[in-house]
């Protein structure tokens, strides 16, 4: 097991202290960050540092610890799914999507997930551990370096519940936003949660204009509890109240993710009830055609039903879109690739 410090886990002050512990001046931290910003993470190539310092650094520290295990490119739309391996042999997945407005990277925040959403490929694989801030950051860096292009948007929507890994998440958000590291504006970052209401309120106080995406997937507690165990802890009314606090504090609208599952949550009545709940809330509803997962019983709603659902929301003055399905040929839905690799 690699006992070296992962420098991507440190914030700027911690990095300065690390260099001081080696008898070096604080400016070394800026030199190191400059290389990282330019996509160089091989300490041996950091030629503005003396050889003796580079050797000491290589002994005591690493800049990241992920290795690429598998990569799948969609022939349909170019979406790329990456599977990365960690030193403890755990695997995590990330996805690159090419939208009209630029490249977006979707990262994982935990190894596995313990939230148990029934429609999710991550359920049943088990929970390993939280990812560190550096492990989250490195997913973005590895993908940026692989494609050689600027990453415009980040979504923390892969495997795991990011708000359950709160401290690492906030450290990661600050790092990607930092002009010294990735310089990606908070408005270009989205954090997705299955509905941890207290943490949503906590995030609203961080002073970051992060986009919040909430996995709602049901118009009432009866349906939501069937597919999302977290609803037993934080019922829909608590969740929506936390979202209101978030929009008031940040001025950002909340996106509600709603997977349309045939016969479960896709009727006209469901759309009407959902409209009532979201009335007067600064929000948008993202309707998602269910991405069929082998081994799960749920089926996708028809396109016709999705269109009726959307029209009903719009009639009630709720903004709604039907999400374009990306990467359907490469297991791009969250947890699918990892699930297959683990089971193979």
Where in the sequence numbering do the catalytic residues fall?
Answer: 93, 334
Size of the site for ligand SF4 (CB under 6 A): 13
Binding flag, residue 115, ligand SF4 (CB under 6 A): yes
Residue range at the interface with ligand SF4 (CB under 6 A); choices 81-89, 94-102, 108-116, 238-246:
108-116
Neighbours of 275 (CB within 10 A): 19
The DSSP bridge partners found for residue 110 are 130
CA distance 180 to 318: 39
Binding flag, residue 239, ligand SF4 (CB under 6 A): no
Task: Choose, by CB under 6 A, the member of 159, 191, 242, 271 that binds ligand SF4.
Answer: 159
Of 284, 221, 285, nearest to 258 by C-alpha is 285
CA distance 235 to 252: 22
Q: How far is the CB of 275 from ligand SF4 (least distance, A)?
A: 24
Distance of alpha carbon 203 from its chain centroid, rounded?
A: 15
Write each residue from 201 to 220 as x if it is in contact with ligand SF4 (CB under 6 A), else as -, in one continuous string. Answer: --------------x-----
Nearer CB in complex with ligand SF4: 199/215? 215
Decide the pairing of beta strands 283-289 and 319-322. Answer: parallel
Binding flag, residue 93, ligand SF4 (CB under 6 A): no
The kind and range of the H/E element at 84 are strand 80-85
Residue range at the interface with ligand SF4 (CB under 6 A); choices 20-28, 126-134, 155-163, 235-243:
155-163
Binding flag, residue 120, ligand SF4 (CB under 6 A): yes
CA distance 72 to 49: 37
Binding flag, residue 334, ligand SF4 (CB under 6 A): yes
Task: Choose, by CB under 6 A, the member of 65, 123, 153, 291 that binds ligand SF4.
Answer: 123
Classify residue 89 by its DSSP letter: S
Residue 6, classed as helix, strand or coil, is strand
CA distance 233 to 229: 8
Q: Report whether 94 contacts 139 (CB < 8 A).
A: yes
Task: Choose, by CB under 6 A, the member of 122, 132, 255, 336 that binds ligand SF4.
Answer: 122
Residue range at the interface with ligand SF4 (CB under 6 A); choices 23-31, 80-88, 157-165, 284-292:
157-165
**Residue numbers at the binding site for ligand SF4 (CB under 6 A):** 113, 115-117, 120, 122-123, 159-161, 194, 215, 334
């Amino acid at each position: 097991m690699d006992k070296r410090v992962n420098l991507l886990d440190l914030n700027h002050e911690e990095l300065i202290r690390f260099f001081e512990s080696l008898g070096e001046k604080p400016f070394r931290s800026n030199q190191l960050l400059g290389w990282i910003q330019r996509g160089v993470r091989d300490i041996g190539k950091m030629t503005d540092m003396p050889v003796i310092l580079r050797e000491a650094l290589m002994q005591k520290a690493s800049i990241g610890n992920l290795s690429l295990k598998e990569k799948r490119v969609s022939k349909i739309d170019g979406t790329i799914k990456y599977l990365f391996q960690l030193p403890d042999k755990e695997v995590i997945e990330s996805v690159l999507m090419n939208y009209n407005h630029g490249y977006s990277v979707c990262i994982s925040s935990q190894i596995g997930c313990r939230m148990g959403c029934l429609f999710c490929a991550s359920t049943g694989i088990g929970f390993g551990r939280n990812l560190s801030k550096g492990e989250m950051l490195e997913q973005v860096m590895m993908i940026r370096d692989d494609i050689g292009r600027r990453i415009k948007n980040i979504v923390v929507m892969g495997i795991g519940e990011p708000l359950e890994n709160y401290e690492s998440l906030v450290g990661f958000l600050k790092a990607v936003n930092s002009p010294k590291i990735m310089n990606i504006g908070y408005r270009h970052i989205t954090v997705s949660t299955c509905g941890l209401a207290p943490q949503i309120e906590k995030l609203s106080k961080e002073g970051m204009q992060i986009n919040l995406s909430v996995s709602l997937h049901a118009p009432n507690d009866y349906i939501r509890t069937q597919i999302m165990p977290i609803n037993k802890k934080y019922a829909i009314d608590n969740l929506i109240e936390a979202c209101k606090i978030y929009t008031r504090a940040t001025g950002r609208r909340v996106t509600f993710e709603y997977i349309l599952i045939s016969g479960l949550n896709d009727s006209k009545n469901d759309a009407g009830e959902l409209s009532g709940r979201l009335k007067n809330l600064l929000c948008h509803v993202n309707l998602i055609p269910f991405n069929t997962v082998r081994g799960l019983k749920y089926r996708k709603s028809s396109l016709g039903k999705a269109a009726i659902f959307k029209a009903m929301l719009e009639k009630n003055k709720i903004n709604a879109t039907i999400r374009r399905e990306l990467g359907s040929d490469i297991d791009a839905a969250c947890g699918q690739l990892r699930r297959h690799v683990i089971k193979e």
